[in-house]
Structure 1
Amino acid sequence: MKRLFLYLLTFLWLGFPGLANAVDGSKFVLLSSTIGPIDAGIVDALENAFEKETDIRVRHVGAGTGAALDIARKGNVDLVMVHAKSLEEKFVQEGFGTQRIPLMYNDFVLVGPAADPAGIKGMKTAAEALGRIAEKGVPFISRGDKSGTHVAEMELWGKAGLKPAGSWYQVYEKGSEGNAPTLKYTNQQGAYTVIDRATYLALKDQISLVILVEGDEAMLNYISLIPVSQKKFKTVNATDTMRFVNWLTDPKKGQLIIRDFGKEKYGAPLFFPNSEAWQKAQKK
């Protein structure tokens, strides 16, 4: 009943057609996804292509990684798409998820004002740059919401050996709304932040912030799928969920869409395929 209620909510929020074909609980999959891929548009692209091929509907709700996993802990969805390894591993260890399945990746970048008052432009590591920002006490905005982006940011502060605090370090009160609102707010404040490249590329024509530090291996942003355990929740649609997972990770299907997504609009892909099947195919 909870699954049906959540499906009805997604229908009301997003106006999906054909609700009558899905209310029996079969032939649809519910996904809770981190917000970044939703904002970038790739979640819709993947769902629509899968539905066209299989007639299985996939509908999603968006939340930061921590919140997306909490939705799944209540048995309200079949699958999660998230990007915080430590939280993902805990979710599986607790028995809520079956396994972490690599899907795709992009990377985080450190952005700030073009004038760069902290003087971090071109630094090789985020840790060095964050250390300089803290030393100079220049404004930095954090999502602060235990999302995948926030977890990644805190890991980077950890590599710098710092626990950020002070008037210069601001937690955005609406950070839970996602990376796009956070980046726009950072732009308004003329501050620095850590953000995923896809969000930056999607908004770069609307903001004046520039990428100042990039290319650090520690800033890679890996996105995983975790099927919710049917042993934990009998209502989970495991059959159609695994069809979706297998399609997403297929080198000739979902992975090709991921490879090409964003090229036409931005001149470069927003994400890179990373499934085990894709990696094996590239080695042949």
Structure 2
Amino acid sequence: MKKLFLYLSAFLVLGLPGLANAADDSKFILLSSTIGPIDSGIVDVLENSFEKETGIRVRHVGAGTGLALDIARKGSVDLVMVHAKSLEEKFIQEGYGTQRIPLMYNDFVLVGPAADPAGIKGMKTAAEALRRIAEKGAPFISRGDKSGTHVAELDLWGKAGLKPSGPWYAVYEKGSEGNAPTLKYTNQKGAYTVIDRATYLSLKDQISLVILVEGDEAMLNYISLIPVNQKKFKTVNATDTMRFVNWLTNAKKGQIIIRDFGKEKYGAPLFFPNSEAWQKTKGK
């Protein structure tokens, strides 16, 4: 109950989205997840499928990767699902997490107005495109919230050899609410941004922005699981958490759901399985 109280307190104090009927018994898992997978719907599908098979409930709270890890540092959750390697490694080095476990990936894309005033369409690398955007002073929107998406964006600027600043580079004041609100705001401003493909596909019928740069290996977006260290917090439900982790990474269970998610609705998967078990079997 202490863990649940801390979890609910974090939700109320931080105003985080995504809490779904946390249970009051010992047979549940609390997940702190980056917002993108939640917005896409895949987190709910995975949680519900696992509960149907095992009877173990999983409930989640959504936050940018930095904040999702901070929630876990308070001992409020059992597991995190995040996508910023440098932040993940620090979390583990500090003793809060046990290990980084590959789960799935998609990719980031650079989107902007169809008219493409910066002239970046078709460029092979994000670094080249970002340099052009900076040279032209074309409006660019950043989440600016230390989320996985923000960290990835800054890494791409680093590869471009730039530290973006100036009136053309704006931080969305509500960026911590997630990629979907950020993309909608970018659309309103007729600007450029770096966003994950899943968010773009889920909103493409509601916006006029188009994908201008894609396929750069530097834009791959790897999503990991990190169990919270029970040695740090006795309230962590390590047994059920590892059962969930093993189910998610199983090549014939969670990974199959990930492989097929989005195909029917969008004509293409939103994520690609990436667990060690999947890599060994190649999904066969």
TM-score computed with the length of structure 1 as normaliser: 0.95
Q: 1:232 to 1:79 in 2, by over 3 A?
A: same
Would the aligned equivalents of 1:7 and 1:59 in 2 still touch at CA under 8 Å?
Answer: no
| Cα distance in 2, alignment partners of residues 110 and 13 from structure 1 | 27
| Cα distance in 1, alignment partners of residues 18 and 60 from structure 2 | 11
| 1:199-244 Cα shifts (integer Å, max 9, x gaps) | 0000000000000000000000000000000000000000000000
Q: 1:144 to 1:6 in 2, by over 3 A?
A: same
Shift of 1:7: 6.0
What count of residue pairs does the alignment treat as equivalent? 279
Shift of 1:13: 7.3
| 1:165-208 Cα shifts (integer Å, max 9, x gaps) | 00000000000000000000000000000000000000000000
Map of 1:81 onto structure 2: 81
| Cα distance in 1, alignment partners of residues 181 and 57 from structure 2 | 29
| Cα distance in 1, alignment partners of residues 8 and 59 from structure 2 | 10
Q: 1:214 to 1:13 in 2, by over 3 A?
A: closer
Map of 1:63 onto structure 2: 63
Structure 2 residue 188 is the aligned partner of structure 1 residue 188:
yes
Q: 1:140 to 1:161 in 2, by over 3 A?
A: same
Q: 1:219 to 1:53 in 2, by over 3 A?
A: same
Flag structure 2 segments of 5+ consecutive residues without an equivalent.
Answer: 12-16
Report the 3-state secondary structure (helix = DSSP H, G, I; strand = E; otherwise coil) of the residue aligned with 2:77: coil
| 1:109-135 Cα shifts (integer Å, max 9, x gaps) | 000000000000000000000000000
**One-letter code aligned to 1:196:** D
Superposed counterparts of 1:191-230, under 5 Å: 191-230=191-230
**One-letter code aligned to 1:224:** S
**One-letter code aligned to 1:253:** K
Shift of 1:2: 3.7
TM-score computed with the length of structure 2 as normaliser: 0.95
| Cα distance in 1, alignment partners of residues 181 and 206 from structure 2 | 12
| Cα distance in 2, alignment partners of residues 220 and 160 from structure 1 | 16
Structure 2 residue 110 is the aligned partner of structure 1 residue 110:
yes
Share of identical aligned residues, percent? 88
RMSD: 1.7
Report the 3-state secondary structure (helix = DSSP H, G, I; strand = E; otherwise coil) of the residue aligned with 2:194: strand
Flag structure 1 segments of 5+ consecutive residues without an equivalent.
Answer: none
| Cα distance in 1, alignment partners of residues 236 and 73 from structure 2 | 12
